[in-house]
């Protein structure tokens, strides 16, 4: 049995300036309510949707990069057939205990965009797991989301009152422009290290 912990993840970057600004405004309001939350907010440059988490050894690094490249090509076929993938970010939910939550995240609105995102997840599972033998380290069923805040201390939680007024907010729309393989190790700026990025071509760029 492989007990190695995940050290990398497949990311869909969230970079629409208006969308990111709206999330940051939520974070600032939460910090104003509870200053202790400041150290537990997801950084703006790290907003993303996680497709999967993996343990990638040095021996598997090049194979992982090739798998990401293959995934990008498969996604581009979907884009060529169905057009760019746009998702609407709306509403807030929490993981684990709803009364004393540890993780707050923004939801992806149901509809065609979310359905296609689930198809992309199936592409990823087939290419990484079945074709390249890169097994997932995810401990839960995949639920696409954007993490807003995450408490790491056992005896602390996110006060529900700090985000209640934003629970039904529409934060904006993101057109998916890239996928990325990132290390969980951070650089000196606190950003996870990029191992491989694939810029998605669509529309007139294909």
CA 166 to mean position of chain CA atoms: 20
* Structural domain spans, the chain: 39-89+108-147+168-205
Among 33-37, 97-101, 116-120, 135-139, the minimum mean pLDDT is found in 97-101
How confident is the model over 149-206, as pLDDT tens digits? Answer: 999 888 889 999 999 999 999 999 999 999 999 999 877 766 788 999 999 986 434 4
Token pair for 124:
């990823």
Strands (E), 59-102: 86-95
CATH number of this structure's domain 39-89+108-147+168-205, picked from the four choices 3.90.1140.10, 3.30.360.10, 3.40.1410.10, 3.20.10.10: 3.90.1140.10
* Separation CA 174–CA 19 (nearest Å): 7
What Å distances lie between residue 72 and 46, 60, 195, CA to CA? 20, 18, 15
**pLDDT for 191:** 72
> Element (H or E) spanning 120, and its range?
helix 112-124
* Separation CA 9–CA 16 (nearest Å): 21
Write down the mean pLDDT value for the chain.
93
* Separation CA 63–CA 132 (nearest Å): 7
Crossing angle, helix 61-82 and helix 112-124, to 10 degrees?
150
pLDDT-derived band at 108 (thresholds 50, 70, 90) equals very high
Please say if the pLDDT value at position 1 is more than 60. no
| Residue pair 51/121 in contact by the 8 Å Cβ criterion | yes
Q: The whole model's pTM is what?
A: 0.92
């Amino acid at each position: 049995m492989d007990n190695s912990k995940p050290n990398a993840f497949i990311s869909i970057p969230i970079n629409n300036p208006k969308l990111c600004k709206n999330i940051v405004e939520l974070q600032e309001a939460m910090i104003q309510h509870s200053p202790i939350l400041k150290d537990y907010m997801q950084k703006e440059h790290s907003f993303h949707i996680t497709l999967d988490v993996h343990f990638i050894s040095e021996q598997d690094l090049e194979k992982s990069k090739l798998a990401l490249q293959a995934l990008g090509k498969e996604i581009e076929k979907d884009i060529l057939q169905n057009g760019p993938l746009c998702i609407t970010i709306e509403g807030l939910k929490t993981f684990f205990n709803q009364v004393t939550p540890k993780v707050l995240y923004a939801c992806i609105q149901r509809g065609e965009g979310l359905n296609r995102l689930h198809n992309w997840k199936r592409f990823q599972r087939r290419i990484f797991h079945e074709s390249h033998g890169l097994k997932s380290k995810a401990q839960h069923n995949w639920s696409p989301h954007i993490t807003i805040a995450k408490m790491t201390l056992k005896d602390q939680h996110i006060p529900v009152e700090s985000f209640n007024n934003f629970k039904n907010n529409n934060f904006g729309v993101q057109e998916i422009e890239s996928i990325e393989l990132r290390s969980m190790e951070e650089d000196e700026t606190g950003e996870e290290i990029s191992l491989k990025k694939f810029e998605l071509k669509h529309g007139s760029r294909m």
